[in-house]
């Protein structure tokens, strides 16, 4: 007797709540919704052209991610940037990522390093701001570490990278008008590939640690000056 076929629900279009959540998250991470700014649910609903009910649900999800603080009376505040938070995120990243890099540099193929080198060169394009390259930048760093990353490493890295995203997008976005900053981004990522290509664990580990320390200093300076 044949086993009964599993029942799956038909795939439907994404809900208004999901779309509202994604758009509000994007606006917060990019700084389009300013840190520390108060918004009423009605104001956000009007901007999204939806009812306030999906906006309320979206904000609850974003509150669980630490991106907003819900207020009594149908309003929310975009969580302010916290420089101590920035330090804490990078302190943890400097513990985790260099260690994985030391193992990964011996596992990456030459073909993958060639691909990443080509991507790194693109990060220096003058017309591309941090918002344009961020997703590719995230994928680049993950690809460098992926061969040695366990499931738990990936979970931890994902949490830390999500926590850092708003600081990176806003802080480095303020540096976009400087042409030298674009060249620096390309060169910094080419240097990382070169360090991994050496196949020396200490070289790769030190390069990642320095890359993170430099990025923290630059993000901190940009956010403080802004």
pLDDT tens profile 36-83: 999 999 999 999 999 888 999 999 999 988 889 998 878 899 999 899
Residues of the chain with pLDDT under 50: 11
Q: Where in the chain is the domain with CATH 1.20.120?
A: 83-225
Burial of 187 (0-12, 13-18, 19+ CB in 10 A): middle
Buried b (16+ CB within 10 A) or exposed e, 24-42: bbebbbbbebebeeebebe
CATH of span 83-225: 1.20.120
Q: What pLDDT is stored for residue 2 in this prediction?
A: 56
Indicate the CATH number of 16-78 among 3.40.50.150, 1.10.10.10, 3.40.50.360, 3.30.450.80: 1.10.10.10
User: Residue 7 has what pLDDT?
Assistant: 58
C-beta neighbour count of 59 within 10 angstroms: 24
Residue 193: per-residue pLDDT: 97
User: Is the model's pTM score more than 0.85?
Assistant: no
Which residue from 169, 77, 96 is spatially nearest to 129, judged by alpha carbons?
Answer: 169
Q: Residue 196 has what pLDDT?
A: 98
Give the Cα-Cα-Cα angle 92, 94, 112 (nearest 5 degrees). 120
What distance in Å separates the CA atoms of residue 160 and residue 152, rounded to the nearest whole number? 12
- pLDDT given for residue 44 in this prediction: 92
Structure tokens at 85: 């938070």
3 state SS of 20: helix
In the chain, ranges of CATH 1.10.10.10 domains:
16-78
């Amino acid at each position: 007797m044949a086993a009964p076929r599993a029942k799956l629900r038909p795939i439907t279009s994404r809900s208004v709540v999901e779309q509202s959540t994604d758009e509000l998250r994007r606006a917060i991470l990019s700084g389009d919704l300013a840190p520390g700014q108060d918004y009423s649910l009605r104001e956000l609903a009007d901007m999204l052209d939806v009812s306030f009910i999906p906006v309320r649900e979206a904000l609850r999800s974003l509150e669980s991610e630490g991106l907003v603080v819900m207020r009594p009376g149908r309003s929310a505040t975009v969580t302010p940037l916290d420089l101590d938070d920035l330090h804490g995120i990078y302190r943890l990243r400097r513990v985790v990522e260099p260690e994985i890099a030391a193992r990964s540099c011996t596992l990456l193929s030459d073909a993958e390093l060639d691909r990443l080198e080509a991507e790194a060169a693109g990060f220096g394009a003058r017309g591309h701001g941090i918002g344009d390259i961020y997703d590719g930048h995230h994928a680049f760093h993950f690809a460098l570490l992926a061969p040695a990353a366990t499931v738990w490493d990936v979970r931890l890295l994902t949490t830390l990278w999500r926590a850092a995203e708003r600081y990176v997008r806003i802080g480095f976005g303020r540096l976009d008008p400087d042409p030298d900053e674009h060249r620096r981004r390309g060169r910094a990522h080419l240097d990382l590939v070169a360090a991994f290509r050496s196949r020396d664990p200490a070289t790769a580990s030190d390069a990642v640690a320095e890359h993170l320390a430099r990025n923290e200093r630059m993000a901190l300076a940009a956010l403080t000056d802004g």
